[in-house]
Structure 1
Amino acid sequence: MKTFFALLVLLTAEVRASTILFLGDSLTEGYQLSKEESFPSVIERKLSKTHKDLKVINGGVAGATSASGPKRMEWYKKTKIDVMVLALGANDGLRGMKVTETEKNLSAVIEKAQARGIKVVLAGMKMPTNMGEPYRTDFEKIFPKIAEKYKVRLIPFLLEGVGGNPKLNLPDGIHPNAKGYEVIANTVMKELEPEL
């Protein structure tokens, strides 16, 4: 009888669907590419081999800053989300927004998620040197600081191995191409998979 119940628990765990929300900007959306080429879709294909009932929501919105994050969480209020990959902040940095504002906004998103029992993986971002070294340094520090404060997993740099590589980006030099998204998917999966 104990064996039967143990097997039942295992089977239930296997069939339970996991839903992942990727809350981000154009880097998440898959700017100028097909939906299937975006990194959330690449991750869905890769993980569906081992997680049969996986559901991925691509919540990428081009031009979005961290300020949109708390309100956008309301869009998914009725959706049962298990894990959220928070990938906002790139546009904040490019626009020179106050680092304290970015930190406040990202913190608010994480607090809303954790209040609903959603596990969070935070994607870090780095800035080009044209923003000035003091701003660049302060901006990059907020991601590990927030990850430590809320005890969430951190992807040190979402564009690791992709940023600045012309072979992995569109002609604008900012947005990844399909090959770039394959690299990003692997980077994200290292921190995401342990949370599933």
Structure 2
Amino acid sequence: MLRKGLRFTYGAALSIRNGAMGLIVLATPLTAQEITVAALGDSLTQGYGLAVEDGFVPQMQAWLRDQGADVTVMNAGVSGDTTAGGLARVDWTLTPDVDAMIVALGGNDLLRGLDPSMSRANLDGILATAAEKDLPVLLVGMEAPGNYGPAFKEAFDTMYPELAQRYGAVFAPSWFEGLGLQEQSLAAAQDYMQADGIHPNAEGVSLIVEGLGPYVLELIERVE
């Protein structure tokens, strides 16, 4: 589980980019056969504090199917997981039936103040494992708060786009992009958060799904 300190991290972390991408409406199905996407992440992916149907994975799957995509999204989110935890389980997560992967990890690394070089190495290993299996990946980025210092922030923030470019992954700059809170206060985000101020509520997840959905559509278009 992402602990209370993440109010700070995901908070100005919720310096959520506006850049809201419009919904992509497809007149015909994207695929001739069902695609399975594994969502590798932490409590945000797992759906902490929500009814099962309100979590990220069920809502994303429903959104994709509304766009005409025959997709099953597999919940590979573990509360409290770090990039190291993701690396430890990525190989057995990518079973033969998995066609693509979403990677959304790093928040708990921030909470623990882990060296960004360690986080980068772990994410590199995750992406390398997917590359070995010839699977497309969507890498979801995040930003460190300024209290760790400029060097830490620079190293952490840049590892996501740089790794995405290195491996040719689809890159989504922020998990919270769909909330569309560019220059508003953290208090404005609370309407979309649970009482802990960390995890999104069902409405927040719905907006997050709308923000990330177009990136996932781009991901599944890469499935061969």
Asked if Structure 1 and Structure 2 have the same fold, meaning a TM-score greater than 0.5 normalized by the shorter chain, the answer is yes
> What is the TM-score with the length of structure 2 in the denominator?
0.76
Hey, what's the Cα distance between the residues in 1 that align with 2:86 and 2:161? 18
- For 1:107, the aligned partner's letter is D
State the Cα distance separating 1:160 from its structure 2 match. 2.3
1:109 pairs with 2:126: yes
* Cross-structure match for 1:191: 215
Hey, what's the Cα distance between the residues in 1 that align with 2:149 and 2:204? 26
* Cross-structure match for 1:8: none
Higher helix share: 1
1:22 pairs with 2:39: yes
Of 43, 46, 51, 2:69 maps to: 51
* Cross-structure match for 1:123: 140
* Cross-structure match for 1:182: 206
- Alpha-carbon contact 1:155-1:187 (below 8 Å) kept: no
* Structure 1 residues 64-89: Cα deviation after superposition (integer angstroms, max 9, x where no partner): 00001222113324342111000011
User: What value does the CA root-mean-square deviation take over the aligned residues?
Assistant: 1.8
- Alpha-carbon contact 2:106-2:119 (below 8 Å) kept: yes
State the Cα distance separating 1:161 from its structure 2 match. 5.0
1:144 pairs with 2:161: yes
Query: Which segment is superposed worse, 184-193 or 95-104?
Result: 184-193
How many residues are treated as equivalent by the alignment?
Answer: 183
Consecutive unaligned residues in structure 1, runs of 5 or more: 1-12
- Alpha-carbon contact 2:177-2:212 (below 8 Å) kept: no
SS in 1 for 2:138: strand
Hey, what's the Cα distance between the residues in 2 that align with 1:193 and 1:14? 11
Hey, what's the Cα distance between the residues in 2 that align with 1:160 and 1:128? 17
Hey, what's the Cα distance between the residues in 2 that align with 1:174 and 1:134? 25
* Cross-structure match for 2:192: 168
> What is the TM-score with the length of structure 1 in the denominator?
0.86
Q: Greater relative contact order (Cα 8 A, min sep 6): structure 1 or 2?
A: 2
Cα pair distance change 1:123/1:62, threshold 3 Å:
same
Hey, what's the Cα distance between the residues in 2 that align with 1:33 and 1:79? 30
- For 1:36, the aligned partner's letter is E
Consecutive unaligned residues in structure 2, runs of 5 or more: 1-29
4+ residue segments displaced more than 6 Å: none
* Structure 1 residues 170-189: Cα deviation after superposition (integer angstroms, max 9, x where no partner): 12221111111111111211
Of 136, 146, 151, 1:134 maps to: 151
Of 133, 156, 166, 2:173 maps to: 156
Hey, what's the Cα distance between the residues in 1 that align with 2:166 and 2:199? 30
